[in-house]
Amino acid sequence: MRKFLIAVAMLGLSTPAAAEVVSAGDHGFEVRQSINLVIPTEKAFAAFGQVQDWWDKEHTYSGDASRLALQMRPGGCFCETLDDGGGIEHMRVTFLQPGERVVLTGSLGPLLYEATAGVMDVKVEPIAGGSRLTMNYRAAGFAKGGAGAMAPLVDQVLATQMKRLRTFAAGGGKR
């Protein structure tokens, strides 16, 4: 039975995350990522909250994903600490429905330095054999060079993060 479950998990790992630039323009964009997991919704949701265990260190300011933390509570911070005692608030939890949905607000990566606002809406739903985690990230405002040009890059980074989350959630270990 264990070998069967591992084989099913590996099949899920070989399937790419569904990624999509939903819309993009000069002043905003929306990207969507979706992954299927062979674990119950509660475990999928909990795995998402362990961002330090699956987020790619290449997409941190510190170069160390263990410096990330996501406090899964209203007002909770998705933050990163830095060596010099400083840090970054990447996003803030603005809505939480434990086990089902979390909405975070904030501008990721280089959008932090632009006049943009972002909303990340993460939903987990049951499907046959496990759960589906879907992440929509919308950012709007003034971005030098146009927000539409950033959409494919943000989509690519978030697709990488979702693949890493899928590996972690399936028991593939940290980073």
Lookup: tokens for 134:
């879907």
Q: Which domain holds residue 60?
A: 2-172
Instruction: Give the CATH number of the domain where residue 100 resides.
Output: 3.30.530.20
pLDDT digits (tens, 9 = 90+) for 113-134: 999 999 999 999 999 999 999 9
Average predicted confidence (pLDDT) for the chain = 89
In the chain, which stretches have pLDDT less than 70? 1-17, 172-175
How many domains would you assign to the chain?
A: 1
pLDDT at residue 173, rounded to an integer:
62
Q: Name all contacts of 170-174 with Cβ < 8 Å and 24+ positions apart.
A: 170/9, 170/12, 170/13, 170/37, 170/38, 170/39, 171/9, 172/13, 174/53, 174/54
For residues 49, 55, 59 and 61, what is the CA-based torsion angle, rounded to 10 degrees? 60
pLDDT above 70 coverage of the chain, percent = 88
**Does the predicted model carry a pTM greater than 0.85?**
yes
Helix, strand, coil % in the chain, rounded to nearest 5: 35, 40, 25
